[in-house]
């Protein structure tokens, strides 16, 4: 099996990718912040299905953490991640340090912002987060210049913003979303699950259960979405889970859903112990409505 290369420097990375492109290799890219779990590795699998070369980056991006958030405690497990990626068949790991990505402080640099959609949902409590994400992803896209890139659907708003950024800025990169990977309990895999104790991890499954129950009520015909959101929040709070939001939105533009919306997504963010957890579930009513 060919060995995975690890590169920390962007000009060396560009040269390696140039060599591949000169012999018509198709390059897929999976950007991550490391502490890889099965969810990330499925992104690598999906990348592999669409390309002949798979590049993964590990970069804990300071620009997407606000003061007081968990950048210092964010789990960093480069050696273990590197072994997992090599085993999964990635071709190249790009693991730059902050000075390689940002020549000066991120706040002094040009930013990329998707207006409006960066400040709703998770952007309400984390107003600088998505600008940090879209800026670093734009920079990484310019460094790697892949044919396609794969992101997880767990971060639904992030995936949505990246697709819009790519369209608005004409990046010649195809964006693919990969299904959320869950524990048997339903809890979505996330690097931040490592902040949970064993008991909290079990408890955290209530988040996805509340989304499933809300989705079931919609499928049964309930269209009072505000009431459904309130019920889900109450259920989670009664379970001792601090709720940031539960919101029923249109899948195609993330605007609030109404009774006529056929493709919906229910998104939620909660706090449990030291972990902020997000999740979502999609509901497709097009078949149901056509049958009525």
Q: Tell me which residues are annotated as active site.
A: 40
Residues 52-111 that bind ligand PAF (CB under 6 A): 61, 64
Residues 229-288 that bind ligand PAF (CB under 6 A): none
Residues 154-213 that bind ligand PAF (CB under 6 A): 155, 158
Decide: is 33 part of the binding site for ligand PAF (CB under 6 A): yes
Binding segment for ligand PAF (CB under 6 A), chosen from 29-37, 46-54, 173-181, 202-210, is: 29-37
**Which C-beta is closer to ligand PAF: that of 61 or that of 210?**
61
H helices of the chain, where? Answer: 10-22, 38-50, 78-88, 98-101, 122-125, 129-144, 156-168, 198-220, 225-238, 286-291
Please, is 183 exposed, middle or buried when counting C-beta atoms within 10 Å of its C-beta (0-12, 13-18, 19+)?
middle
**230-258 burial by CB neighbour count: b if 16+ within 10 A, else e?**
ebbbebbeeeebebbbbbbbbbeebeebe
**Which C-beta is closer to ligand PAF: that of 191 or that of 210?**
191
The site that binds ligand PAF (CB under 6 A) totals a number of residues, namely: 10
**Which C-beta is closer to ligand PAF: that of 27 or that of 137?**
137
**Residue 35 — φ and ψ, nearest 5°?**
50, 55
Least distance from ligand PAF to the Cβ atom of residue 35, Å: 9
Cα–Cα distances in angstroms (integers) from residue 241 to residues 2, 88, 114, 140, in the given order? 47, 36, 31, 36
Binding segment for ligand PAF (CB under 6 A), chosen from 45-53, 132-140, 194-202, 249-257, is: 132-140
Residue 48 contacts residue 89 (beta carbons within 8 Å):
yes
Least distance from ligand PAF to the Cβ atom of residue 152, Å: 7
Cα 148 to Cα 54: distance, rounded to the nearest angstrom: 10
Binding segment for ligand PAF (CB under 6 A), chosen from 103-111, 130-138, 180-188, 223-231, is: 130-138
Binding site for ligand PAF (CB under 6 A): 31-33, 61, 64, 133, 136-137, 155, 158
């Amino acid at each position: 099996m060919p060995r995975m290369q690890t590169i920390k420097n962007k000009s060396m990375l560009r040269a390696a990718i140039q060599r591949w492109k000169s012999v018509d290799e198709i390059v897929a890219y999976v950007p991550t912040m490391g502490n890889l779990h099965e969810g990330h590795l499925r992104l690598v699998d999906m990348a592999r299905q669409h390309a002949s070369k798979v590049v993964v980056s590990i970069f804990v991006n300071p620009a997407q953490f606000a003061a007081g958030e968990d950048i210092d405690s964010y789990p960093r497990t480069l050696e273990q991640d590197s072994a997992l990626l090599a085993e999964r068949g990635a071709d190249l790991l790009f693991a730059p340090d902050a000075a390689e990505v940002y020549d000066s402080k991120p706040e002094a640099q040009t930013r990329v912002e998707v207006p409006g959609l960066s400040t709703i949902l998770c952007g309400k409590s984390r107003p600088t987060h998505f600008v940090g994400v879209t800026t670093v992803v734009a920079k990484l896209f310019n460094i790697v210049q892949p044919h396609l890139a794969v992101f997880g659907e767990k971060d639904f708003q992030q995936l949505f913003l990246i697709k819009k950024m790519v369209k608005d800025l004409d990046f010649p990169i195809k964006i693919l979303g990969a299904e959320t990977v869950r524990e048997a309990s339903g809890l979505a895999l996330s690097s931040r699950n490592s902040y949970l104790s064993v008991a909290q991890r079990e408890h955290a499954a209530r988040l996805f259960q509340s989304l499933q129950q809300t989705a079931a009520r919609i499928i049964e015909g309930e269209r009072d979405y505000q009431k459904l959101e309130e019920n889900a929040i109450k259920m989670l709070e009664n379970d001792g889970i601090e709720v940031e939001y539960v919101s029923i939105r249109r899948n195609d533009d993330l605007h609030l859903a109404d009774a006529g919306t056929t493709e919906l997504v229910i998104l939620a963010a909660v706090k449990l112990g030291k972990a902020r957890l997000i999740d979502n579930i999609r509901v497709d009513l097009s078949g149901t409505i056509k049958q009525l």
